A = this chain, B = another copy of it.
């Protein structure tokens, strides 16, 4: 699946992923009104609104990008109807030819990690059937529990040709509390990065491994170090845009082949129409604002990569 992601990135010239992390406050009134009229101000109504909102953005951007990254928390907060909207979003993105990175940050041990892995990336056995549940191509995984927690995900990825992005260094201000603690003079995230490279070596798809890493855009120097520790690891980079990361900060997350990293923007794209820069589109044309924001993001990253050559 990493081969497929790499091909799509080459084809679109866009190492960019749109984070489908809908909050009700991002959704234009005309969509909320439609959904609330049909389902009331209920969990079902909220789920319908986020699905409609997503559909608009996907329809408006799918030809520009290789992948989307729905953040399941934004769906799970609306309970079972919300999770159904997550499923509907994943299915629709597949219809439009997009790869889906399930931003689920799951992580447990043994048979429990295996259950998450089959549910999100694989097939679950029910009687004589093998059934796909959520069916994303990639999932994000939390490494705190060690190899026991990650290996069941890797096993499913091998079987199903799917991939992972494992949290190494996250983009938030307090990520350093544990991730930066020094062990023999080196921060914990470097050890986690080494493990990711080691896990990934078991499962290569061409030049890159199916087992990727998450490294936040907000720590460019860390990106440079981790790029060297994990040369064959695809790095998923959150924190672009709304969290403060810019294209110029990200050049060291990429390899010299111009590959090896894919940058996520969520709010900066899906709520673009709320920014001054894109206000001219208006709420009714929110999806066109998102398209323009994607084009601008692609250009920003491309310029930064060209300037670094």
Contact = CB atoms under 8 A, between A and B. Distances in A.
Contacts of A80: 80, 83-84, 87, 133
A41 interface: yes
A53 interface: no
A82 interface: yes
A44 to B, nearest CB: 9
A188 B195 contact: no
A45 interface: yes
Interface stretch (A164-172, A202-210, A273-281): A164-172
Interface stretch (A107-115, A224-232, A295-303): A107-115
Interface of A: 21, 23-24, 32, 36, 41-43, 45-46, 71, 73-74, 76-80, 82-84, 87, 105-113, 115-116, 118-120, 124-129, 131, 133-134, 142-149, 167, 170-179, 181-184, 188, 191-192, 195
Given A41-B129, A182-B183, 13 more contacts: A24-B126, A42-B129, A43-B126, A71-B112, A80-B84, A82-B119, A145-B174, A146-B176, A146-B178, A146-B179, A148-B173, A149-B172, A183-B183
27 contacts: A21-B112, A24-B126, A32-B127, A41-B128, A43-B131, A45-B126, A46-B126, A71-B108, A73-B108, A73-B115, A73-B119, A74-B115, A76-B115, A76-B133, A77-B116, A82-B119, A109-B171, A142-B144, A144-B167, A144-B179, A145-B172, A145-B174, A146-B179, A178-B188, A178-B192, A181-B181, A182-B184
